[in-house]
Amino acid sequence: MRNIFMLYMPPKNYEAQVHYEDTIKRRVPLDRLAPYLSVELKVRLKEIFGSRPIAVWGSRNTDANRRKFDQMAIRDDMLIVEGETIKLLGIVAGKIISPDLSRELWKNLKGDTAAGWDLVYFIANPREIDLEFSSFCRVIGYAENFHLQGFSIVAQEKLVEFYDQYDDLYDILIRLKQGESLQKRSPAQVVPLPEPSVKDLNTELKQDDVEQVLTSDLVSDHVKMQWKLVSLGLKAGEKVWVPPSDQTKIRRLYEYSEFEPRFVTGIDLPTGYFDNIDVIWKEQFRIDAAFEIENSTAIYSGLLRFADLTIVAPNTVYPLFIVAPGERRSQVRVQLQRPSFQQLKLDSKVRFLSYEAIEEVDRFFANSSGGLTVDIIQGKAERLT
């Protein structure tokens, strides 16, 4: 169970605002951090952030703060609260106690103290949200007039109660910001999935298999569309995941191998609910979009995966796409009318994305290395209700 940390910034605190601008909004290149980090931490941050700059924040190294800092772990949630407003939410990607790094990043502007912010933590998926702190208090079980001070951690009993009812803090707060209703779930809905076998995770294609893929219209259309979504995801600045068995095909056919070594998200669910989806665009610990390709298989197979996700994580805010040839549009529409899918309101969450629309986007961005966004893909997709 992930912790939730909260850090209070007094409103109109000039020093805090300067530091926030320097190391949260502008972020910090890994090269600048590297001299102060262990080899292990550098490797971990490189794996998470790649070449992107990193949001960094810190707290004073007092006894009270140190006790909380010692409980901090990767994938814990972090809120920075300014006055009565949640200014930022993100996920802990790493931590270090370093007076030297503190001095490198944050100067004491007032000049009246030598104390630094030596408890340093690195924040993935930072998102400025500007949500009333009282909204968070309501869902976490605090009084709406709860007065936050300094560096705090949500009590364990509050966490247990929250995660018994809800799936993910990030999605919950985004929904509250957007004025959407929240859906509660029971822990009993989360069914443990069987772990994939070593054979499944290390599937290797023989040369005959590769030739069969290359000469089979049925298989290659699926794989070609998978590759288009991978390459478009890279142009959108996303990290891209495909199932391990499919990684082998793409590696052989397209000589691309920069896949993440393991699937990690910010939500506490067995990865089997996610890592068999055909293509996922993600940003550090967050999923930004999920695609199920239905070239010729039964449409409901992809919808069933999305239905499972909707049951175990009903508040997720990332878009879900069924990708198929345009002539299969009516089949998707029919399947979405199934009573079980209707009960989950899957037709309001899943969009149809035709092969033709993907081809159009691919042609438009053929000579570009960036500029594509998830919003553009959403604009090309259709709601079938």
Domain harbouring 37, CATH code: 3.10.590
The residue with greater pLDDT, 9 or 301, is 9
Structural domain count of the chain = 2
pLDDT of residue 265: 66
pLDDT for the residue numbered 134: 93
Q: Does 224 share its domain with 308? A: yes
Q: Is there a single domain that holds both residue 140 and residue 268?
A: no
- Are 220 and 134 members of one domain? no
Sheet of 85-97: strand order equals 55-59, 119-132, 85-97, 77-82, 4-9, 151-153
- Mean pLDDT is lowest, of 31-40, 59-68, 176-185, for 176-185
Percentage of the chain modeled with pLDDT above 70: 85
Strand, helix or coil at 258? coil
- Whether the pLDDT of residue 20 is over 80: the answer is yes
Say whether pLDDT at 368 is over 90: no
Among 119, 152, 184, the domain-final residue is 184
pLDDT of residue 12: 79
Instruction: Tell me the mean pLDDT in the region 150-172.
Output: 90
- By the 8 A CB rule, do 61 and 93 touch? no
Last residue of a domain, one of 184, 215, 243: 184
Residue 189 lies in a domain: no
Does the residue 163 lie in any domain? yes
Residue 191 belongs to some domain of the structure: no
Q: Based on the domain organization, do 243 and 309 belong to the same domain?
A: yes
116, 208: one domain = no
Percent of the chain with pLDDT over 90: 45
Assess whether pLDDT exceeds 80 at residue 68: yes
Strands (DSSP E) along 233-337, which ranges?
239-241, 279-283, 286-293, 320-324
CB 246 within 8 A of CB 200: no
pLDDT, residue 145, reads: 83
> Is residue 53 pLDDT above 90, yes or no?
yes
Domain extent, residue 48, equals 4-184
363 is a domain residue: yes
Instruction: Give the model's pLDDT for residue 297.
Output: 65
**What is the band of 309 on the pLDDT scale with cuts at 50, 70, 90?**
confident
More confident residue, 259 or 150: 150
How high is the pLDDT of residue 123?
95
What is the reported pLDDT for 267? 60
Say what the pLDDT of residue 163 is.
87
158 and 241 together in one domain? no
Count the neighbouring beta carbons within 10 Å of the beta carbon of residue 333.
15
Tokens 């030598």, located at residue: 114
Question: Which structure tokens are listed for 209?
Answer: 């298999």
Residue 76 has pLDDT above 90, yes or no: yes
Same domain, 216 and 179: no
Residue 125 and residue 13 in one domain? yes
